[in-house]
Chain A
Amino acid sequence: QLQLQESGPGLVKPSETLSLTCAVSGAPLMSEIHYWAWVRQPPGKGLEWIGAINYSGNTYYDPSLKRRVTIFTDTSKMEFSLILTSVTAADTAVYYCARGRLLSDYFDYWGQGALATVSS
């Protein structure tokens, strides 16, 4: 059974960098039919698609975040990561990692979520 687990600091100062990691277990990270994504949810609001990476290392980012976001995989550690620079209070959210299915574009497995608060 695939499991995803997010980890990272719960508190980040404004203008600093948020780094989150998603540990993958129970399924291969390098899959030709899946991709790995980050989705966030600000308090009291809806889901926001941040970005994704496929088995070829191709990345896709939301245009509004593209200047500040990087997603990469570490196959030796079976994990993928999110880097978000120059954070502001608007980046406060629960961040989910998820597995996406290529072509169908649905997320079948999700992590439990990690709250990241941007505050001084």
Chain B
Amino acid sequence: QSVLTQPPSVSAAPGQRVTISCSGSSSNIGSKYVSWYQQVPGTAPKLLIYDTSERPSGIPDRFSGSKSGTSATLVITGLQTGDEADYYCGTWDNSLSIGVFGGGTKLTVL
């Protein structure tokens, strides 16, 4: 089982807004930065959000991240069919002294 918990799937129509949650604990999300990755099947993960809410250059502002306590959230607005992918949250766990990922969330754009 993953240290971080994500919903297995979410779905929404094109143009709409979707949120993906990532739940952890005080030893990881509660005290560390969170990152988010987008993975199209058959390709390597791509960094979407770092330092909880920062976007790398080239990532549109339709993607945003936030954190509250021991949970983090990825929000995607103005959904496009090209956003269909698996999304993973990640961070460091101070108790385990290792990096950890969520189990991943499959986004379907209806």
Interface residues in chain A, defined as those with a beta carbon under 8 Å from any beta carbon in chain B = 37, 39, 46-49, 51-52, 60-63, 96, 100-101, 103-108, 110-113
Inter-subunit contact A105/B101 (CB<8 Å): no
B39 to chain A: which residues have CB within 8 Å?
47
Inter-subunit contact B99/A112 (CB<8 Å): no
Neighbour of B91 across the interface among A52, A105, A111, CB < 8 A: A105
Main DSSP-derived SS at the B contact region:
strand
Q: B interface, how many residues as a size bin?
A: 20 to 34
Inter-subunit contact B50/A108 (CB<8 Å): yes
Q: Give A90 to B99 CA distance when docked, in angstroms.
A: 20
Neighbour of B44 across the interface among A100, A104, A113, CB < 8 A: A113
A52 to chain B: which residues have CB within 8 Å?
99
Q: Give A106 to B51 CA distance when docked, in angstroms.
A: 8
In chain B, what residue has the closest Cβ to A66?
B98
Interface residues in chain B, defined as those with a beta carbon under 8 Å from any beta carbon in chain A = 2, 32-33, 35, 37, 39, 43-47, 50-51, 56, 86, 88, 90-92, 96-104
Q: How far is the CB of A58 from chain B (nearest CB, A)?
A: 10
In chain A, what residue has the closest Cβ to B47?
A108
Q: How far is the CB of B31 from chain A (nearest CB, A)?
A: 11
Inter-subunit contact B37/A107 (CB<8 Å): yes
Inter-subunit contact A107/B35 (CB<8 Å): yes
Q: How far is the CB of B98 from chain A (nearest CB, A)?
A: 5
Q: Give A104 to B92 CA distance when docked, in angstroms.
A: 8
B92 to chain A: which residues have CB within 8 Å?
105
A62 to chain B: which residues have CB within 8 Å?
98
